[in-house]
Amino acid sequence: MLDTNTHGVDQRVSTGDLPSWERIDERVLEAYERNVTDEQGLVADYIPELAAADPSQFGVCIADVEGSTHVAGDAEVEFTIQSISKAFVYALVCQEFGHTEVGRLVGVNNTGLAFNSVIAVELNDGHPMNPMVNAGAIATTALMPGATLAEKWENIRTGLSAFAGRQLSMDGEVYRSEAETNTRNEAIAKLLKSYGRIAGDSSGIVDIYTRQCSLRVSARDLAIMGATLADGGVNPVTKQRVISPIVCRDTLAVLATSGLYERSGEWMFEIGLPGKSGVSGGIVTVAPGKGALGTFSPRLDSAGNSVRGQKATAFLSRSLGLNIFASDSEGDRHDV
């Protein structure tokens, strides 16, 4: 990890505000209408149950840090969270073990390779590199507190439920479908174990990881989960503190570098916000201090990211002034 010599220096926070309620509603509806007829991309088919998804479904939601939500389309339709779970399990593990230890064990650097790459592990002497690729996520899941595999799983389920503000349940059919095609993740887990990166039953850890990916959420859930990260770890709906502000910062930093896999650089260049995608078609995007976007549409690009979701998020980032890199001169500012 980089030695920044900032011990004892308080983290100051500087964020802005979202536009008016009416403006957000208008922009969310416009983001939906601009992209609902876009038929680019393909539904994921390497997991048989995901191949049955309705490609026409499309939902958009923004949740602000006050707990308000703005929705359009299929924002209440449930789908499996898939890789988006990686971000929130990582946050829970960071809450337990802290910034330095988790950074040492899992890493925070982008591999530049596919999310399920085995080569990335070998090239880095068994180090997972970051928690948003499968190797890092499996290592992170292995770190989850719990004396037994059952306890680890329940701590993950209840932890992600706290982020969502409601009890999440597992989709049994998707879980079984993924479990039957889990050979690559099993191999990654065994490789990590051979390097001493995970302890115990590697197959059991992969099973938990598969379960966490099979939790059912909606675009609205994703927006609330993201808004919890945006609001320093307090769920804006339940007002429950889930994690600390420091853990939120660490989680968002990792999402900024690795949340969209090998397309993360392009994502930050075009959209300018930390985000995380999943192969069922969900994307969560966080505007620190303001709120979060949740989108759902099953048609994916070649990197496994929702096509409509990316376009809707790009529109909202620009039209609502969310891009964290955007600035203008005092004289040029105008209301968004």
Active site residues: 83, 86, 209, 261, 279
Closest C-alpha among 184, 176, 243 to residue 213: 176
Secondary structure letter of residue 37 according to DSSP: T
Task: Give the three-state DSSP class for 8.
Answer: coil
Q: Which two tokens stand for residue 171?
A: 């989709």
Task: Give the three-state DSSP class for 174.
Answer: helix
Identify the burial level of 211 via C-beta atoms within 10 angstroms of its C-beta, where 0-12 means exposed, 13-18 middle and 19 or more buried.
buried
Kind of pairing, strands 42-43 and 59-64? unpaired
Q: Which two tokens stand for residue 298?
A: 């099953």
Beta-carbon contacts of 240 under 8 Å, excluding residues fewer than 6 positions away, are 162, 165, 234
In sequence order, which ranges of the chain are alpha helices (DSSP H)? Answer: 21-35, 85-97, 99-106, 119-123, 134-143, 149-164, 172-179, 183-194, 202-213, 219-230, 245-258, 264-270, 307-319
Q: Which two tokens stand for residue 182?
A: 């889990």
CA–centroid distance for 95 within its chain:
17
